[in-house]
Structure 1
Amino acid sequence: MDERSNIIFEDRFTVSDVDKDGKKFDRVSRIVATSRELNMHLTLDIASELYPVAEGEAFALAVVRSLTPDQDAKDAAADENGDGADDEGNRKVRRELWRAPDQGLANDYDYVMHGKIYKFDDSQKGDNMTTAYFSFGGLLMALRGSYRHLANVVVGENVYLLMRK
């Protein structure tokens, strides 16, 4: 069974710049933010019509593996049985989470995106900093900071980005 935590990264950020190089797309803004506690630097493309942010605003950001953290353990147990059934022998019924009445972690956040970790760059080992790159359907994110805060990042893994003000 997978013993990894569902949460890959979470912290609070303050926006320092919005579209500092000019607005390239009508409905997308690129924000630059710095975390309050972990000294992380974030560059994120965001759908500005859906979730507008302004310079100086603070928001919470989380990157998670699943929107249903307790479901992962049940799925792993069913997969160990090899038949798609849970421990009691009942067949699992998988539904898309956005159709379910309880949307898990998405209920607690204002803005949710699904994407993939596509690159992990630790080439600047001298300053003990690394950068993880994410793609959310063409909206990109770069998260830069200490390696120990990005230790749970696995290239190729599907993730959810969750934000709230």
Structure 2
Amino acid sequence: MNRWKELSLVLAVSALAVSACSPASSTEPIPSATTDEHGAEEHYHNVPEVTWDARSEEDVKAVATKVMGLFARPDVPERQWYTDIFPHLSKEYAVDAQYIDPARVRVNTIHSGPVLTREQGNPMTVMAEFATNNGPWVLLLHRMDQHEPWLVTSIAPKDA
């Protein structure tokens, strides 16, 4: 009989531990992997409406041109170079860019560009190519929403 009490106690403690790990009690159902027609609409109602138009092209060209101009300054002190370029970088790329030594950037003259390339149907990501004194360089730019700024996610030689 003592053994049954121990087993009951173990089960009670286990149940308590499991319930402590589960989310707070709620009357809302947990979403399932399968959705009906209405569930699909609810799931996707927060997807941003993003389009590609003349304004999008002007905006991304302006940002790309500005950033490439800020990038191609090997004679600027490192801290100033990073401070100038930082507002135009994605959070992830900003972490990487803080380690770029502008004195080692072999670009100081931009001959032409940007020439934009993007996937048809993708108005959120664009590649901007520039002809420079060190060959072609490419910036990858992305925006999260129609009204969000274009941010640079990569700057590299085209052949890199």
Q: TM-score, normalised by structure 1?
A: 0.26
Structure with the bigger RCO (C-alpha within 8 Å, sep 6+) is 1
Q: Which has the higher helix share?
A: 2
Q: Which is higher, the Rg of structure 1 or of structure 2?
A: 2
Q: Which has the higher strand share?
A: 1
